[in-house]
Structure 1
Amino acid sequence: MELAQRVQTLTPSSTLAITAKAKDLKKQGFDVIGLGAGEPDFNTPEYIMDGAKQAMNNGLTKYTPAGGIAELKLAIIDKFKQDNGLSYNEKQIIVTNGAKHALYTLFQVILNKEDEVIIPSPYWVSYPEQVKLAEGNPIILPAAETNDFKITPTQLEEAITPKTKAVIINSPSNPTGLMYSKEELAALGEVCLKHNIIIVSDEIYEKLIYTSKEHVSIASISDELYNQTIIINGVSKSHAMTGWRIGYAAGNETIIKAMTNLASHSTSNPTSIAQYGALAAYTKDPGDISLEYKKIFAERLDAFYKLIQDIPGMECIKPEGAFYLFPNAKKAAEMNGFATVDEWVAALLEEEKVALVPGSGFGSPDNVRLSYALSIEELTEAANRIHRFVLNHK
């Protein structure tokens, strides 16, 4: 039986695949350290779970509006005001089944066949696939490692064609952990305004920054960029709620209405109980819970980064946010006699039982992504195993 053409070209998520492989090896009794997970290793805070329990006890387990409950939309509006200096109304907000679903729905409503979306690489693995599912063409724009994996306005301008509909900006970035400054965003924004290109600003890691830099939403820079930008965000990373699947999009009212209409026919609504958990996350927080996470991740980053830097053939730019290292492992792979970094990663998992995500899934085949959403003890052991593997194969 032949499948639809739209799914025949899809590439499975490399992050989910490596995590599943690591879990399978663990079930077989192997001592596996998985560095592939894109989620905090903390449990969801108790006050958020209490909010969900209270909702269940109050019978709030029915259908909700397709675009999310009004209370949560208002809480998101308050969040934008406080954190980003942005003003939205309820008609400019849609709550979705995770930030991934917000992106998927957005591309479905803004793209026609063969419309182009510029995607800087390294990129999050699902961006190109979601564009393809909307019958658009992902245009991969390599960002130089020597420029901290960031594209320049000149690069962006040269990539634009009459078919260009949107560009994706992810800051802080998955997989690199690096961020654009306000000045860099403004310069890219000017190019987008000049060519009337929609800016898709993925800000899911905005709360996890470990330098003196502050997160800047490109929509906050000017009224013109505000009108041109769709912001994607959610509670998964900031509040350790990956499994709850609550994300949201904010921006142009016409686009948000179309997204809401599509969601009404595809998912009905985000899970009611999860929405009330997210509402608690934004309204009942006894303090900024992400500050606690930031402190823990910053300590892990400092320790793990030093250990990875000490491994022969591994070169890494220190990330500024998120919870990933993205070292260049090409020299290590060549030193160990492997033709590609992918082969090196596979051998490392087989021999030392350390699961990394190959950079090829992110459009950067010379790199690997290592999540430091584990304890310092586990990270230290993982780094020691990688170091041993490299030395044993020299």
Structure 2
Amino acid sequence: MSTTVPAPWQRAASGANLLAANGTLGVTIFEEMTTLAVRTGAINLGQGFPDEDGPAEIKAAAQAAIASGANQYAPGKGILPLREAISAHQQRFYGLTPDPETEVIVTTGATEAIAASLLALVEHGDEVLTFEPFYDSYGAMIGLAGATHVTAPLIAPDFMPDMAALEAAFSSRTKVVLINNPHNPTGAVFPREVLQRVVELAAKHDAVIITDEVYEHLTFGEPHIPVATLPGAAVRTVTISSAGKTFSFTGWKIGWLSGPEHLVSAIRTVKQFLSYSSGTPFQGAIAVGLALPDDFYTGISETLRRKRDILSDGLKAAGLDVFTPQGTYFVNVDTAPLGISDSVDLARRLPDLVGVAAIPVPVFCHPAGAERTRSLLRFAFCKKTEVLEEAASRLATLRERL
């Protein structure tokens, strides 16, 4: 019996329909919360983007590149100075040594790296395993690739996986395990034993591991452990990161991936038919950023830790149960202590109630996961200190305003 593979336009529709059918309309709720924030004058802590620029020397490098004429197409795999800088970064922080010629690709943000990887490595009928909640683009891209999205739940309050459920989620059809670490939306940073078990199960089922590590430098007292550094992982792992989160230049859309040559080559074949290349002057500037001294990297995490605590104090004063994140720039809360079980409804009321916007965690889940997380809200703390102080002050009045 032959199986007909849907045409690309059918797979695209399937990906969109998958989100609609599961109620995980992440893009829609983000737009809705942003619109509400604008209409009400609320502080928008929904979308995860900083409200101030990153290092001045990186901006200056981009401006110089534009002025010098670096404004045409970059090579499809990225300019060599940035590929070399990515390789040097992996060596400097993790002891990894990807070949900048054959094992590194520059992409239009981490989102394109994820898309190209999935489109290259999975086929119709394959399964892709992620933790749940999951970053909202994962479900859409898995659908676009024609694969089946399987999840293993992360359990509050620390959002670690149930190891038995994780093992049960693997099958003979598992082609890719897509791991986001540090994890959006929960803020979890997975320890070595969890990641090593993922590697063991992936090897058992001959699955590729794709790791989304865009928050790699934004952890709070917990070490970030790249999966590719673990025993048995390097031969089957594609590592993805980007400049947006580390350097606070999310609009530049400079991402990258690295891994074994045979996987990178397959992904590059797909990537050339997506954006081909982008952001030529920004690529050289990010190469400058990756070479910044260690105190820059420790400084950004310490600054974010302080911002996390400012916002968390306001959320606690509101009577919410706060799950302190180990990484990223998101903090999750449980609204149940206030007698509220529907975080989607509260998210829609919050801008009018206290002048702050947030994102309900169920939009990052399939139906069963949405039910498990239905009272959880996510707030972003990647904002100016004075903005967070005002948001915390407003949130502290929530209990009395309900």
Change (3 A) 1:41 1:294: farther
Aligned to 1:359: 361
CA distance in 2, matches of 1:24, 1:299: 28
Secondary structure of the equivalent of 2:321?
coil
Between 1:72-81 and 1:321-330, the stretch displaced more is 321-330
Displacement after TM superposition at 1:280 (Å): 1.7
CA distance in 2, matches of 1:193, 1:131: 21
CA distance in 2, matches of 1:214, 1:275: 27
Displacement after TM superposition at 1:286 (Å): 5.4
Displacement after TM superposition at 1:31 (Å): 2.6
CA distance in 2, matches of 1:151, 1:349: 33
Q: Check the 8 A contact 2:37/2:351 in 1, yes or no.
A: no
Asked if 1:324 corresponds to 2:324, the answer is: no
Q: Check the 8 A contact 2:313/2:392 in 1, yes or no.
A: no
Secondary structure of the equivalent of 2:245?
coil
Equivalent pairs, count: 381
Q: Check the 8 A contact 1:304/1:376 in 2, yes or no.
A: no
Aligned residues: CA RMSD: 2.2
Code of the residue aligned with 2:309 in structure 1: it is D
Residues 279-318 of structure 1 mapped to structure 2, 5 A cutoff: 279-283=287-291, 285=292, 288-312=295-319, 314-318=320-324
Residues 97-116 of structure 1 mapped to structure 2, 5 A cutoff: 97-116=108-127
Residues 95-244 of structure 1 mapped to structure 2, 5 A cutoff: 95-146=106-157, 148-211=158-221, 213-222=222-231, 224-244=232-252
Secondary structure of the equivalent of 2:134?
coil
Q: Check the 8 A contact 2:210/2:239 in 1, yes or no.
A: yes
Asked if 1:372 corresponds to 2:377, the answer is: no
Code of the residue aligned with 1:104 in structure 2: it is A
Code of the residue aligned with 1:372 in structure 2: it is F
Change (3 A) 1:225 1:7: closer
CA distance in 2, matches of 1:307, 1:345: 16
Code of the residue aligned with 1:374 in structure 2: it is K
Q: Check the 8 A contact 1:239/1:289 in 2, yes or no.
A: no
Code of the residue aligned with 1:219 in structure 2: it is A
Secondary structure of the equivalent of 1:237?
helix
Secondary structure of the equivalent of 2:233?
helix
Q: Percent identity?
A: 25
Task: Map Cα deviations across residues 320-367 of structure 1 (whole Å, 9 max, x no partner).
Answer: 1111101122343xx25xx62211111112333311001111223321
CA distance in 1, matches of 2:355, 2:27: 17
Displacement after TM superposition at 1:303 (Å): 2.3
Displacement after TM superposition at 1:255 (Å): 2.0
CA distance in 1, matches of 2:295, 2:243: 13
Secondary structure of the equivalent of 2:151?
strand
Displacement after TM superposition at 1:268 (Å): 2.0
Change (3 A) 1:226 1:96: same
For residue 269 of structure 1, the aligned residue among 277, 290, 299 is 277
Displacement after TM superposition at 1:174 (Å): 0.9
For residue 46 of structure 1, the aligned residue among 53, 56, 67 is 56
Which consecutive residues of structure 1, in runs of 5 or more, have no partner in the other structure? none
Q: Check the 8 A contact 1:18/1:36 in 2, yes or no.
A: no
Displacement after TM superposition at 1:79 (Å): 0.3
Secondary structure of the equivalent of 2:247?
coil
CA distance in 1, matches of 2:76, 2:385: 42
CA distance in 2, matches of 1:26, 1:308: 18
Change (3 A) 1:174 1:93: same
Secondary structure of the equivalent of 1:238?
helix
Code of the residue aligned with 2:65 in structure 1: it is A
Q: Check the 8 A contact 1:22/1:32 in 2, yes or no.
A: no
CA distance in 2, matches of 1:8, 1:287: 42
Q: Check the 8 A contact 2:311/2:391 in 1, yes or no.
A: no
CA distance in 2, matches of 1:133, 1:360: 22
Displacement after TM superposition at 1:260 (Å): 1.5
Change (3 A) 1:17 1:386: farther
Which consecutive residues of structure 2, in runs of 5 or more, have no partner in the other structure? 1-8, 366-372
Q: Check the 8 A contact 2:52/2:383 in 1, yes or no.
A: no
Q: Check the 8 A contact 1:19/1:34 in 2, yes or no.
A: no
CA distance in 1, matches of 2:133, 2:201: 21
